[in-house]
Amino acid sequence: MPPISEMAMPRRLAALFGHLLKVIGMNFEKEAQALQQQITADRRYLHAHAEFGMELPETAAYVTKRLKEMGCAPVSLGGGIICDIGSGDHTVLLRADMDALKVIEDNDLSFRSQTEISHMCGHDLHTAMLLGAAKLLKEYEPKLKGRVRLMFQPGEEVMAGAKSMLDAGVLENPGVEAAFSLHVFTTLENGVLSYKVGNAFSSIDIFKIRIEGKGGHGSALEYTVDPIKAAMLIYQGIEGVVARETSMFHSATCSIGHFEAGTMYNVIPESALLEGTLRCFDDDDRERILERIQHILDGISQATGTICTLKTMSTPSLKNDPVLCESIAPYLSEIQGLQVMETTEPASGSEDFAFISEKVPTMYMILGVGNQNAAPNHNARAIFAEDKMYLGSAAMALAAVKYLENC
């Protein structure tokens, strides 16, 4: 049996290591807190100048200007902006989405959007917090053990921005080894940071089904091929695939939110259109349901004499890497004021950062900026608390630093 003094050594080292972790986390938290006023100013400018889709000229110009003010060298890529801080053999990526929604804001804020586009999903906070992290990392640059690539992305709401930047080489030259991103939720308590290991967000398949028939007078149906009838059968058939053919132990949902046909009460239209989404967590379920939808279209097309075509735009489920999450979460827990928790429930929404998670280990986090009674993201009256934004900046910066130190 070793002497008692030797047995105590591991405990002493552990206590010292824990203290060092706390000091490191506290320093990032304090440095970020000193930036809170600027982070808020950045957020409010972006909020008042919300832009939708893949082309965000005002937003991109502002982000570029702010990065240059910090001494960074931003570069346009794939519709977005990238910026590298540090150098070395290892590279880690931090990402923020910059685009807004086609929602008219219904809030009495001095910086509210004045157009039909607004930041009701909180991407203005994401961008502002990554700008805050950029400032922290730039000041820490001499101590960085590698390279941090900042990714400011357009078009998340249209599920196109991440793929565009990926195709343009956001993970290349040099090769990115891991990636972090963060999203704000108004319905999660302010200052809580949660993450889900494994499947964190569902896949999404946005589909359009066009039914071509033969138009004519409502009094002479024998001369027509009714696309509305076929569309109704398709609607019922798709509903049955999820309700009757998917295991109760698996989660999947399919909804049709747009049904369009005809312009006159007494005219059978030439065509009809159905648009909807399929969301799954299991890849096998996703493939099976999409295949069954096509079978339904083929059968109804033959039975009704219509021509039914299916087009999809797909985004995979976002998967958080277990090893990456388990290695970084303890460091984040040492940031004062930030309550870090691992959740067992994935989010039912979808996130195009999933394309990045297919290529490199990823940790995608949720930062609470409200409470459970607040209006949710995408609501015209959603209010995003600003006072804990600096914690998001600190968490992103610290995640990058600790990843590089542990390479």
157 annotated to a ligand binding site: yes
Whether residue 378 is annotated as binding a ligand: the answer is: yes
| Long-range contacts, 290-297 (Cβ 8 Å, 24+) | 290/205, 292/241, 292/245, 293/207, 293/238, 293/241, 296/234, 296/237, 296/238, 296/241, 297/209, 297/234
Helix 389-405 with 4-33: angle, nearest 10 deg: 130
CA distance to 53, 185, 330, per residue, from 365 (Å): 23, 10, 14
**Residue 123 labelled as part of a binding site:** yes
Cα–Cα distance for residue pair 43/131, rounded to 1 Å = 10
Answer yes or no: is 358 a known binding residue.
Answer: no
What ranges make up the beta strands (E) of 284-350? Answer: 307-315, 318-320, 339-342
CA atoms within a 13 Å half-sphere pointing along the CA-CB vector of 200? 27
Query: Across 98-225, where does the E strand assignment appear?
Result: 147-153, 178-189, 192-195, 198-201, 203-212, 216-217
Is 121 within any annotated ligand binding site?
Answer: yes
Structure-derived torsion over alpha carbons of residues 112, 116, 122, 125, reported in degrees to the nearest 10: -50
Strands 91-97 and 178-189 come out as parallel
Nearest 5 degrees, angle CA 130-CA 387-CA 66? 30
How distant is the alpha carbon of residue 331 from its chain centre? 23
Alpha carbon distance 29, 335 (integer Å): 6
| Residue positions forming the annotated binding site | 121, 123, 157, 183, 378
Binding residues for Mn(2+): 121, 123, 157, 183, 378
